Structure 1
Amino acid sequence: MADLPDVDELLDAAVRALGGARRDGQVAMAQAVDAAIDIEEHLVVQAGTGTGKSLAYLVPAIRHAMANDTTVVVSTATIALQRQLIDRDLPRLAAALAPLLRREPTFAILKGRRNYLCRHRLQTAADAEPDEVELFDPRALSSLGRQVQRLHEWAEETVTGDRDELVPGVGDLAWRQVSVAANECVGAAACPFGVECFAEQARAEAGGVDVVVTNHALLAIDAMQSYQILPEHRVLLVDEAHELVDRVTSAASGALTERAVATAAKRAARLCEVELTERLGETADGLALIFTDAEPGRVDHLPEALAGAVASVRDAAHGCISALGPENKNDPEAATARRLALAALEEVHDTAVRVLESFEPPLRDRRDVVWLTKSPKQPPGLHVAPLAVGGLLREKLFGDRTTVLTSATLALGGSFTTLAVQWGLGRETAGEETRPRPAAAEEAAEDAREAGEDADDSHTAAGEPRWRGLDVGSPFDHARSGILYVAKHLPPPGRDGLDQRYLDEIAGLIEAAGGRTLGLFSSMRAAAQAAEDLRERLDHPILCQGDDSTGQLVGEFAEDERSCLFGTLSLWQGVDVPGASLQLVIVDRIPFPRPDDPLSSARQRAVGAHGGNGFMSVAATHAALLLAQGTGRLLRAMDDRGVVAVLDPRLATARYGGFLRASLPPYWGTTDPEVARAALRRLDAAAPVGSAV
């Protein structure tokens, strides 16, 4: 690579071309990524908001790709970051680096096949009966028909067939009528539209570029499947790495529902004997009956009736699969019908098998958890998910490539070990480089070590990959720009909605701030209660999640400096509003997972069964991640100032509070409500006049 400029020179050129300024954290991260690639060592980097971490990993990645004539893969958790990389960061970076390189760097985005319109399915969508429309519901059929008609019109003009480029979008039900999953596709060679296939075109384009941008879900599927989806690569960059475990867990989960079984029977009806498909349809009815009487929640011991219903689904689906016969590649229509039927049959069969097999080991040795969901808005379903994904990631993701994992929030309790163990990396092998955090008390460090050691119960194997961690800090001076106010005087949060004292506290803080408030609540019930109460008390506009689309609400909040926005989970990580419109972030309670959450409760129990502290390794880790992400909404630009108000006194009084505080940006701290309100009044008085009325 001697003929290419080094990373420092390339980064300087990129920053100058983009009109930026040199940032020490960005330089340190770029150098660390370059070194990790060179010595083939995994790297975990915490880079605070404003560091410019995308440039810091893209510059050394592009240099490596061009020097070695290979492809690097960048994986993100959210569509928003994918679009930022593809539409803004990479085009500008490629143009900036082209004069210093042999050619302009190339890039492409790659998603799962289901994200691309299938021309073959589109052709047959009008004639096919929709799988999941309620029978005899003319409104649903009419709405579906209009959406599919839109898709026909869009198909004539789209270049990519990428669902995300369809604005406004269509519902999942309509999209499923014109798309196929990987296991439903007959393949380009057999498909009459193979040459024009959008998914194949995307894969072909991704195969020859320097940088491929994908998502964590496809990354997980690529790791789990026997066939390769992503292009061959030796360097993987995982942005938004704090979400990796949840996204991989979701991709590795399965669900068994009456609807899924009935759909499989319906798809197989034209291909199998009537007796076989009728038998499968009857098992769907039997499953529905059992679900009616069963209690929702985690299933630790499989009742005989439920076991019998699941086994009946397994056996009936297996009978249909055996009866399908070989694929007729000379008849594309028949081949497509067979593939659709086989995919649906295998999904219910394999899920049923997995559910039954998950109960075979003793409780403390199980690798999967099973639970039943029932709600007014969704049909009942039996779900199965892995207790841990560290083993999968260690073997498939870290085994034969160099991986860089980065986010603004990775060092929980001041240590990377907690998340690293969950990823399957184990304890650090190359010396952790984190910045000293005055707020991290001795007990916080001990809790962080404890959480890390326990995080993946007993499933972390020997021979863990070599990795090191680096915290490059943030360009923000958190202690000067922000205050962390913990309402120590309030009572611990209850289970019956917001205490009146909490509502009074919120009202006082908002009045002091002059609006300008993002309220992050642990439930929609709490958010709605606060919105209803405060709309009667305050003159400031109170927007609440659910009143409109989240994007529309965030836009209104940003435009009107006197407004407030209340909501729950998606707002904890999805709001980027710099400036005077957001000077107060309120958190109603520490965001621990619900005690009855099947997956987190099972993970806590598994850790405890092996002698660990399940609360610290699961519940406290979950809360620390969300708190760090939520409080990070406050400072989004260098001139931002404000207050983070956590109303839950346990952050100041509980032993685990030190661990949680050490996971947050290092704001200046206080428990005095008047100090917080006085600071907000000063900020309100000093704020420039904008759109406020």
Structure 2
Amino acid sequence: MNVIDVLGDDGLLAQNISGFVPREQQIIMAEKIVEVIDQQDVLIAEAGTGTGKTFAYLVPALISGKKVIVSTGTKTLQDQLFTKDIPRLLTAMSLKIKARLLKGRNNYLCLHRYHKAALMPISRFPENKALFKHLRQWIYDTSLGEVSEFVDQVENRLLLANLTSTPENCLGSECDHYQDCFVYKARRKALDADLLVINHHLLFADMAIKQGGFGELLPNADLIVLDESHQVPEIAGRFFTHLFSSRQCKELLNDLLTEAGEVDAAFAAISEPHEHFKRALRDALLVMSQMPERESTRRLFQTPVVIEAFDLLMHQANTLLSALEPLVVQSTGLQNGYVRLAAMIDLLEDMRQQSDPAYVYWFEAREKYFALHKSPLDVADPLSEFRATMDAAWVLTSATLAVDQSFAHFQSQTGFEPAQTLLLDSPFDYQSQALMLLPKNLPEPNDFHFNQRMFEYLQPLIEQATGGVFMLFTSHRSLQMAASHFRQVSDRPLFVQGQADRNQMLEDFRAAGNGLLLGAASFWEGVDVSGTSLSCVIIDKLPFAHPGEPVLKARIEHINKHGGKAFYDLQIPKAIISLKQGAGRLIRGVDDRGVLVICDRRIISKSYGNRFLNSLPDMPVTHELDSAIRFMTQSTASNGH
């Protein structure tokens, strides 16, 4: 069986899947992947919307007969692959293979923590009684043990922390419930999979564990496919970040109390130092709540009141550690608590010293929460090291990887060099399906009157749009201003991010057919509204990340200090990838038509604007509002409405 046998005009998919249309770009990508598998090489492929990249990588993976891991950007995409795409392909291709799905441990009920919680007052709270009664039988009936099976019955989401485990509090093979553990059952099944579907969070958790020299979560594979690869630098950065937080401290204190209650005299031995540590944590929280929300920790540990609070926290943590030491032989749970506390003390000391030049140290502080972070300046090195240990072919793909037709930025960020690259345009006809409106007469985006003028300018376009309208914002403040403006002047059904569940909001928006949806970051990607439900996408500003954000600020300083130009080497490429994601919401199907509006005049007035325009699909451009309105009304006529 070869690629053409499956994806060609007379192929198995054309014969067996109704509505399947062979696409040249899909076949080119699939054949390239066959080559990469044979050569055990690396392929970085941008596949424009509508290419059919999922089948383009799954078909060569399946016909290769090799062991394959597919990693996706989200759990939603992971479920779609496993429950829809893979079964359809296997049926159409008459293949029988072992496909498995594996999620992170917080998706599975932890039997150890469930049994502890069932004995605690939390299980007798009126709002939790029905759930615990249901779980008593459920743990015997469920085959997967996934919390998604009962999550709708959980009124207080904080309860989930008592029912699931983290890498820190898992007792591993020392646990009394190890043989029945849902996490380990899922991992044991995953080890013999021919095709394993995971998500990036799990992949990088595995990387981080291997980096520390511990055992493996994931089996070895001959081919690793990373879908939605544009997310890789950010997710990898989060997983290679070390964290010390007030929440970790509270969870540890709670776990120690629970475990000590089951060991003779243990509670008496630790109760006093436990209470002192708890008070010192409360003091640290109070001090941190007076600090800025997010900032480098450079000056933090030069502030006398902060030094004093963390000296006390460190002292009380060490006192509690000493009290725990003689108890570790009596209980696996207390031994786990001792190891966790020792690691937290070491990390806190490192955070205060800030001595590793390869990392940026920063903090976030809110009224009842603080976290100290140690984030890598660069994830390319740890990613390269990890890749070197894997004897596999790699395919990294997304609709948005290239900047100005080049993969250099993505490769320098991820360390996937050298690699074969492939840039496939969307098969959609943007020349006739889309129009880009770039207004010339709006104020500069930092002008005080920008938002108000933009809303007034867009009013006629929004009112005459034939289908739904997306307005995508770079800040929540602008989004709220738009909400209050359009509530007063528009009769369209209004959907505002944050006022309802995201998925429900999208369902309602599709059903409305003529809604106005106002969204920020999470609506720029992974949102699929096809057909007349969406005929216009409006982007307020070029999505430059805030340069004051601590990690970005440190990376900017690092690049500039080493002879680079961070604005051109980092900030512009990041903004281009985000803009491509936002613009990609518009044309999702072969019959879609619509207008893309970018209200930021810098795209035409600044020299770097061409890099943005060259990175977007090639579509006609107008600067006239009337032309955009005309295109919209024509599209209605041509669609027969």
The reply to whether residue 385 of structure 1 matches residue 375 of structure 2 is yes
Q: Give the Cα separation in 1 of the matches to 2:410 and 2:366.
A: 32
State the percentage of identical aligned residues: 30
Q: Give the Cα separation in 1 of the matches to 2:2 and 2:314.
A: 58
Match of 2:481 in 1: 529
The reply to whether residue 489 of structure 1 matches residue 477 of structure 2 is no
Match of 1:548 in 2: 500
- Note if contact 1:515-1:540 (Cα within 8 Å) is conserved in structure 2: no
Alignment of 1:138-537 (within 5 A): 142-143=126-127, 151-152=135-136, 154-166=138-150, 168=152, 170=154, 171-188=156-173, 190-225=174-209, 226-268=214-256, 270=260, 271=266, 273-274=270-271, 276-299=273-296, 300-301=298-299, 302-303=301-302, 305=304, 306-307=306-307, 309-310=309-310, 313-314=313-314, 316-317=316-317, 320-321=320-321, 324-325=324-325, 334-339=331-336, 341-342=337-338, 344-346=340-342, 348-357=344-353, 359-360=354-355, 366-375=357-366, 379-400=369-390, 401-425=392-416, 465-494=417-446, 499-537=451-489
**Shift of the alpha carbon at 1:632?**
0.4
Determine which of 86, 100, 116 is the counterpart of 1:108: 100
TM-score, length of structure 2 as denominator length: 0.90
Match of 1:670 in 2: 622
Q: Give the Cα separation in 2 of the matches to 1:519 and 1:113.
A: 36
Match of 1:37 in 2: 37
Q: Give the Cα separation in 2 of the matches to 1:326 and 1:391.
A: 41
Is the partner of 1:34 in helix, strand or coil?
helix
- Note if contact 1:580-1:688 (Cα within 8 Å) is conserved in structure 2: no
Determine which of 583, 594, 597 is the counterpart of 2:549: 597
TM-score, length of structure 1 as denominator length: 0.83
The reply to whether residue 122 of structure 1 matches residue 118 of structure 2 is no
Partner letter of residue 95 of structure 1? Answer: T
Partner letter of residue 15 of structure 2? Answer: R
Q: Give the Cα separation in 2 of the matches to 1:148 and 1:658.
A: 59
Match of 1:13 in 2: 12
The reply to whether residue 94 of structure 1 matches residue 85 of structure 2 is no
Match of 1:613 in 2: 565
Partner letter of residue 414 of structure 2? Answer: W
Is the partner of 1:621 in helix, strand or coil?
helix
Deviations 1:281-317 (A, max 9, x none): 3441342243144334322343154356446545654
Q: Give the Cα separation in 1 of the matches to 2:227 and 2:374.
A: 27
Structure 1 residue runs of 5 or longer lacking an equivalent are 426-464
User: Which region of structure 1 is more displaced relative to structure 2, 624-633 or 109-118?
Assistant: 109-118
- Note if contact 2:359-2:375 (Cα within 8 Å) is conserved in structure 1: yes
Deviations 1:96-119 (A, max 9, x none): 223xxxx50221111222221112
Partner letter of residue 123 of structure 1? Answer: H
Partner letter of residue 110 of structure 2? Answer: C
Deviations 1:325-356 (A, max 9, x none): 58979x8xx323543x2464256335314423
Partner letter of residue 673 of structure 1? Answer: L
Partner letter of residue 37 of structure 2? Answer: I
**Shift of the alpha carbon at 1:498?**
5.0
Change (3 A) 1:614 1:467: same
Deviations 1:527-556 (A, max 9, x none): 222122122222222211122211111111
**Shift of the alpha carbon at 1:167?**
5.3
- Note if contact 1:94-1:106 (Cα within 8 Å) is conserved in structure 2: no
Change (3 A) 1:10 1:349: farther
More helix, by proportion: 2
Q: Give the Cα separation in 2 of the matches to 1:471 and 1:513.
A: 33
Deviations 1:160-180 (A, max 9, x none): 112334452645411111111
**Shift of the alpha carbon at 1:150?**
5.5
Match of 1:77 in 2: 73
Give runs of ≥4 in structure 1 deviating > 6 Å.
326-329
Is the partner of 2:524 in helix, strand or coil?
helix
Q: Give the Cα separation in 1 of the matches to 2:161 and 2:178.
A: 19
Deviations 1:125-144 (A, max 9, x none): 122477xx9xxxx9xx6546
Q: Give the Cα separation in 1 of the matches to 2:440 and 2:339.
A: 55
Deviations 1:468-514 (A, max 9, x none): 11012211122221112111221111375853210112212112214
Q: Give the Cα separation in 1 of the matches to 2:432 and 2:326.
A: 70
Q: Give the Cα separation in 2 of the matches to 1:13 and 1:386.
A: 47
Is the partner of 1:483 in helix, strand or coil?
strand
Partner letter of residue 40 of structure 1? Answer: Q
Q: Give the Cα separation in 1 of the matches to 2:622 and 2:62.
A: 45
Partner letter of residue 244 of structure 1? Answer: V
Change (3 A) 1:308 1:211: farther
Deviations 1:247-306 (A, max 9, x none): 111222243333432443443353564454345334413422431443343223431543
Deviations 1:14-73 (A, max 9, x none): 443223122111111111111111111111001111111111111221233x2x5xx211
User: Which region of structure 1 is more displaced relative to structure 2, 226-235 or 22-31?
Assistant: 226-235
- Note if contact 2:531-2:592 (Cα within 8 Å) is conserved in structure 1: yes
Change (3 A) 1:515 1:6: closer
Give the number of equivalent residue pairs.
619
Change (3 A) 1:292 1:500: closer
Partner letter of residue 415 of structure 2? Answer: G
Q: Give the Cα separation in 2 of the matches to 1:194 and 1:14.
A: 43
User: Which region of structure 1 is more displaced relative to structure 2, 274-283 or 107-116?
Assistant: 274-283
Partner letter of residue 159 of structure 1? Answer: S
Match of 1:441 in 2: none
Is the partner of 2:532 in helix, strand or coil?
coil
**Shift of the alpha carbon at 1:640?**
0.5
Is the partner of 1:45 in helix, strand or coil?
strand
Match of 1:442 in 2: none
Q: Give the Cα separation in 2 of the matches to 1:382 and 1:468.
A: 39
Match of 2:604 in 1: 652
User: Which region of structure 1 is more displaced relative to structure 2, 534-543 or 306-315?
Assistant: 306-315
Determine which of 551, 561, 569 is the counterpart of 2:521: 569
Match of 2:46 in 1: 46
**Shift of the alpha carbon at 1:91?**
0.9
- Note if contact 1:75-1:239 (Cα within 8 Å) is conserved in structure 2: yes
